[in-house]
Chain A
């Protein structure tokens, strides 16, 4: 783990294009950033693609970073945006603007509750099964803690669409959990 001051020095060196600093910077962040990419991606292969795209952007844009203390947040945000771009580029209709009000789907039991009882790898496997748009929403909202207005801004959709997509993601998640046999009862028993 690098001390905060050292990290700031490292970022400054990267801004000057120091190759050794870039290598050290990469070493410092690679696992965490790959972890984020893995969450947003459907597969490890896609995660690798997003990871490389994101890190290229990091080094090309690091010169624009002024608040060096917030470098963690900056990188995380850049990785998330790269994931968005990646899926938007590959499937342009991944989000359909939806004016419907949230909560239109029957909400028998909240499938998100079940996630609380699962192990990390199990959660990852379940989320990976979601279609691209739903997976993004679930990651942004449940794990990264973004609010709907922030998600709407990042994805270029309305707040209403963000909420309804989350509802649909829930419905889809419920279906996946049922197919996997991970019902509420089972998980309670497991827990």
Chain B
């Protein structure tokens, strides 16, 4: 043990000041990788300012704007492992170049034409490390594509089945490639080669036609806590119903159902969502809803009969007209919504279905209500900035006008929701 300790001390001293200069491109790559986080914060501030200015600038009742969705996408920039070539920055959206690099990373070196300083046959390595006469066997490329496709296909299918896990499919495909026996039998433990740019382009073109990888999935930071903001335009259909009113013995109560497409409702909400589960999430949101309301009814009391004498000495008996109303107004609701969301993959997009309930206060009448809510969200675009049309159906009922009326609203909303 003492012998070990002495050796450990000596080796620790030997390597205490061991320093190696990293590659010149390292800092650029690191900075590119950490930059999106910074932009996201700036965007969040901008977004909040914009959201606050919306209702002030456009008016509360006639807003027709858009709210925008910011995704948590990390706009990862991938840098090919090229040594001795001009660096090519490739974004995730350029899938074909990535496919090429995917293979490029795993193309084995077939002949060991010489050893570099690492004792391995890296080709196209920097001139200092590249042995004279080394070259890549590009004839091997077609032979590799077939087993690669074969190995990657199950992974691709698997990716398609689990898309909502927000996994980068390329990572899975890479893992599949690593299991290809050919690579295991490669002459070096970690076969790496670097294609010249023209070979890379040729390979890319071929892969585009022969190998259809799924579109890159937006890689989202696996956040378990998300804040949301939404703006919706609501089209509402209302149905008034009579309430039994024994104290006034109301009868012959007539109401008119009304759909007023000229007068739209609006809704703003700020929410918080917990996504600890694979597909599901739970959300809570504070909503403000403004709906048009039209009262149109006549109320007659059969207990009070009005008798009039006609010119031909005939009597005419009519029930007393108690009230005749035809007026429009707006109702304001403030509610706390609890919803359950489930995300599934439809048409290559993660679609979130949600359903829940809302405890609401009708501000006009200071009246508590319960609403049922259901809807779906579909993200548009792959960038960090996602637009999500939000269709929502909600059913609510309100007792209005001195409990004479019961109004049931059916609203269909179309809006934009953002996560941040």
**Residues of A participating in the B interface, judged by any CB pair closer than 8 Å:** 17, 19, 22-23, 26, 30-32, 34-39, 42-49, 51-52, 55-56, 59-60, 90, 110, 112-113, 115-116, 120, 123, 125, 128, 141-145
Interchain CB contact under 8 A, A112 and B30: no
- Do A39 and B18 touch (CB < 8 A)? yes
Q: Is the CB of A43 within 8 A of B118?
A: yes
**Cβ–Cβ < 8 Å partners of B38 in chain A:** 17, 19
CB-nearest residue of chain A to B35: A19
Contact A56 B30 (CB under 8 A): yes
Task: Report whether A56 and B33 are in contact in the complex, using a CB–CB cutoff of 8 Å.
Answer: yes
Min CB distance B361 to A, Å, is 40
Interface range on chain B (Cβ under 8 Å from partner): 35 or more
Partner of A143, one of B6, B12, B83, B190: B12
Q: Does B34 contact A (CB under 8 A)?
A: yes
B22 interface hit (Cβ, 8 Å): yes
Give, as a whole number of angstroms, the nearest-CB distance from A72 to chain B: 12
Q: Is the CB of A123 within 8 A of B14?
A: yes
Chain A minimum-CB-distance residue to B9: A145
Closest B-chain residue to A141, C-beta based? B8
| Cross-interface CB contact of B19 among A35, A113, A145, cutoff 8 Å | A35
B192 CB-CB contact with A under 8 Å: yes
Not counting A47-B20, A112-B7, a sample of 6 additional A-B residue pairs whose C-beta atoms are within 8 angstroms of each other reads: A17-B38, A34-B20, A120-B15, A142-B11, A143-B15, A145-B8
Q: Are A144 and B22 in contact (CB under 8 A)?
A: no
**The one of B3, B30, B33, B190 that contacts A42, using a Cβ cutoff of 8 Å:** B190
**Closest CB in chain A relative to B222 CB, distance in Å:** 14
Ranked 8 nearest A-B pairs via Cβ: A31-B19, A35-B18, A34-B20, A34-B22, A43-B118, A59-B34, A56-B33, A35-B19
Most chain B CB within 10 A, of A35, A38, A60, A144, is at: A35
B residues at A contact (CB < 8 Å) = 3-4, 6-8, 10-12, 14-15, 18-23, 26-27, 29-31, 33-34, 37-38, 41, 81, 83, 117-120, 122, 178, 189-190, 192
**B20 to A52, Cβ gap below 8 A?**
no
Interface pair B21/A45, CB less than 8 Å apart: no
Closest to B189 in A: A42
Min distance, Cβ A162 to any Cβ of chain B, angstroms: 14
**What secondary structure prevails in chain B residues at the interface with A?**
helix
Report the Cα distance A59→B38, complex, angstroms: 11
Given A45-B122, A56-B30, A59-B34, is A35 in contact with B20 using a C-beta cutoff of 8 Å?
Answer: yes
B12→A23 contact, CB < 8 A: no
The chain A residue sitting closest to B118, CB to CB, is A43
- A55 contacts which chain B residues (CB < 8 A)? 26, 30
Please report the C-alpha to C-alpha distance between residue A128 and residue B118 in the assembled complex, in whole angstroms. Answer: 9
A45 touches B10 (CB 8 A): no
CA distance A51 to B190 in the complex (A): 18
Residues of chain B within 8 A (CB-CB) of A48 are 22-23, 26
Interchain CB contact under 8 A, A145 and B22: no
28 A-B pairs with CB atoms under 8 Å apart are: A17-B38, A19-B31, A19-B38, A26-B30, A30-B21, A30-B22, A30-B27, A31-B20, A31-B21, A34-B21, A34-B22, A39-B18, A47-B20, A51-B26, A55-B26, A56-B33, A59-B34, A90-B190, A115-B7, A115-B11, A116-B10, A120-B15, A120-B18, A123-B14, A141-B8, A142-B7, A143-B15, A145-B8
- Pair A56/B21 contact, Cβ less than 8 Å: no
- B122 to A, closest residue via Cβ: A45
CB contacts (< 8 Å) of A113 on chain B: these are 3, 7
Asked whether, in the complex, the Cβ of B27 is within 8 Å of the Cβ of A60, the reply is no
Asked if B8 and A90 sit within 8 Å, CB to CB, the answer is no
Do residues B7 and A30 form an inter-chain contact, with CB atoms below 8 A?
Answer: no
A56 vs B12: C-alpha distance when bound (angstroms): 27
The complex places the Cα of A120 from the Cα of B119 at a distance, in Å, of: 17
Shortest beta-carbon distance from A176 to chain B in Å: 12
Q: Complex: how many Å from CA A90 to CA B171?
A: 11
Instruction: Tell me, in angstroms, the Cα distance from A115 to B6 when the chains sit together.
Output: 12
Instruction: Name A26's contact: one of B10, B27, B33, B178 (CB within 8 Å).
Output: B27
Of listed A90, A115, A116, residue having the most chain B CB within 10 A: A116
Q: Is the CB of A116 within 8 A of B11?
A: yes
Interchain CB contact under 8 A, B30 and A52: yes
Query: Which residue on A lies nearest to B14, using beta carbons?
Result: A120
**Which of A23, A38, A123, A142 sits near B20, CB closer than 8 Å?**
A38
In the assembled complex, the Cα of A110 lies from the Cα of B29 at a distance in Å of 43
Structural contact, B83 and A52, CB atoms closer than 8 A: no
Closest partner residue, chain A, to B5 (CB atom) = A145
